[in-house]
Amino acid sequence: MAIATARVSAFEEPPVRTVRRGAALWAVIRRKPLGLTSAAVLVLFVLTAVFADVLAPYDPLATQPEIRLSPPSQSHLFGTDDIGRDVLSRVVHGSRISLWVGLLAVGIGTGAGMIIGLLCGYCEGRLDLLVQRLMDAIQAIPGLILALAIVSVLKPSTTNAMLAIAIVIIPGNSRIVRGAVLSAKQNRYVEAAQAIGCRHPRIITSHILPNVTAPILIIASIWFGNAILIEATLSFLGLGTQPPTPSWGLMLSSTGRAFMEQAPWLAIFPGLAISLAVLGFNLFGDTLRDAWDPKLRRQG
């Protein structure tokens, strides 16, 4: 009996093209002008905040009553305020507060949201049910109103505004992470890791966490813009950063509104700064989503 034999070639896996996240992002940034613009705005914003001391032409707190409310000129590009402080220097230093609040609020909010989401998604069961209802309850209160209520309990200050914003961020983040964890858990390799006896912390950190970093980063970049907006709103309402610290929202409410007709530059420049920073983060969030979330990419 003849046995058909064939040379069995060693099974070769077709080369899988893995697109690195950085490369995917760079491809989208190059293809879409808005992506590039947003990245440029963010770089500008961060550099301004970091080098505020060097970039600001004057001391943001130094007063010169003799040149109060003077319009934009060569020596004071954004004009001066009601007690003669240089508006450009204050706007430049204001970027520090915004960046600081954004970084810490989003950092704490995203970190806590991620831990809660990971635990809820991984453990499920009663803990998940209870924590998710708690998150529902926090989300039932609009972010700004919750932040206002929290700040009213604490004392109005930049740090407390930041904490309040972090608390506002947690529920939404935890929900997104939880969803991503639930879907990541379905993967065969998680089952395999469980089967070979990997411990839970290892499964979570090595096999599940890499699947949820993309949604976390996307949502964090969008929240960064929102955090800046909420801080500005709280400061505008007198419940955030306190005078004389230069915060964009505070500049708008304290002098911007009072001298709006006489000196519109007092309100225009801080407002533009807030809008530009928030716009940059919103557009960058969109770009990240385009690059990393193929499901949404199709929708344009």
Partner 1 sequence: MYKYVIRRLLFALPVLLLSSLIVFGLMRVMPGDALVALMGESGNVGQRELAKLRTDLGLDRPYHEQYLIWVWQMVSLNPGDSIFTNEPIAVALKKSIPVTLELATLAMVLGLVIAIPIGVLSATRQDTPSDYVGRVVAVSGLSLPDFWLGTLVITFAAIWFHWIPPIGYVSFWESPWRNLQQFLLPAAVLGFRLSAATMRMTRSTVLEVLREDYVRTAWAKGLERRIVVYKHALKNALIPVVTIVGGQMATLLAGAVVVETIFALPGMGRLTVEAILFRDYPVVQTNVMLVAATLVTLNLLVDLTYAWLDPRIRYR
72 near partner 1, judged by CB under 8 A: no
Instruction: Give the burial class of 156: count Cβ atoms within 10 A of its Cβ; 0-12 exposed, 13-18 middle, 19 or more buried.
Output: middle
Nearest residue (CB) to partner 1, 120 versus 208:
120
43 near partner 1, judged by CB under 8 A: no
300 near partner 1, judged by CB under 8 A: yes
Q: Are 35 and 283 in contact (CB under 8 A)?
A: yes
User: Phi/psi zone of residue 217: left (φ > 0), alpha (ψ -120 to 50 degrees), beta?
Assistant: alpha
Shortest distance, position 11 Cβ to partner 1, whole Å: 39
Nearest residue (CB) to partner 1, 12 versus 261:
261
Instruction: Write out the two tokens for 96.
Output: 């520090």
24, 55, 198, 279: residue in contact with partner 1 (rule CB under 8 A): 279
Instruction: Annotate each residue in 162-201 with x if it binds partner 1 (CB under 8 A) or - if it does not, as one string.
Output: ----------------------------------------
Instruction: Write out the two tokens for 53.
Output: 């001391």
15 near partner 1, judged by CB under 8 A: no
Residue 105 and residue 84: Cα distance in Å, rounded? 32
Single-letter amino acid code for the residue at 261: E
144, 198, 214, 217: residue in contact with partner 1 (rule CB under 8 A): 144
Instruction: Give the burial class of 2: count Cβ atoms within 10 A of its Cβ; 0-12 exposed, 13-18 middle, 19 or more buried.
Output: exposed
Instruction: Write out the two tokens for 123.
Output: 């453990």
Helix (H, G, I), strand (E, B) or coil at 76: coil
Residue 278 and residue 271: Cα distance in Å, rounded? 11
Shortest distance, position 276 Cβ to partner 1, whole Å: 8
Residue of 254, 255, 230, 228 lying closest to 242 (CA atoms): 254
Q: What count of other Cβ atoms lies within 10 Å of the Cβ of residue 226?
A: 22
User: Which residues, other chains included, contact 101 with Cβ-Cβ below 8 Å and sequence gap of 6+?
Assistant: 158, 161, 162, 165, 227, 228, 231
User: Which residues, other chains included, contact 273 with Cβ-Cβ below 8 Å and sequence gap of 6+?
Assistant: 91, 94, 95, 248
User: Given the rule CB under 8 A, which of 62-70, 97-105, 208-216, 258-266 is the region that contacts partner 1?
Assistant: 258-266
Q: What count of other Cβ atoms lies within 10 Å of the Cβ of residue 136?
A: 11
Shortest distance, position 99 Cβ to partner 1, whole Å: 16
Nearest residue (CB) to partner 1, 114 versus 252:
252
Instruction: Annotate each residue in 211-240 with x if it binds partner 1 (CB under 8 A) or - if it does not, as one string.
Output: --------------x---x--xx--xxxx-
User: Given the rule CB under 8 A, which of 51-59, 66-74, 120-128, 260-268 is the region that contacts partner 1?
Assistant: 260-268
User: Given the rule CB under 8 A, which of 71-79, 99-107, 207-215, 272-280 is the region that contacts partner 1?
Assistant: 272-280
286 near partner 1, judged by CB under 8 A: yes
Half-sphere CA count of 84, side-chain side, radius 13 A? 7
60, 143, 215, 246: residue in contact with partner 1 (rule CB under 8 A): 143
Shortest distance, position 295 Cβ to partner 1, whole Å: 12
Residues that bind partner 1 (CB under 8 A): 133-134, 136-138, 140-146, 148-153, 225, 229, 232-233, 236-239, 249, 252-253, 256-257, 260-261, 264, 267-268, 271, 274-275, 278-279, 282-283, 286, 299-300
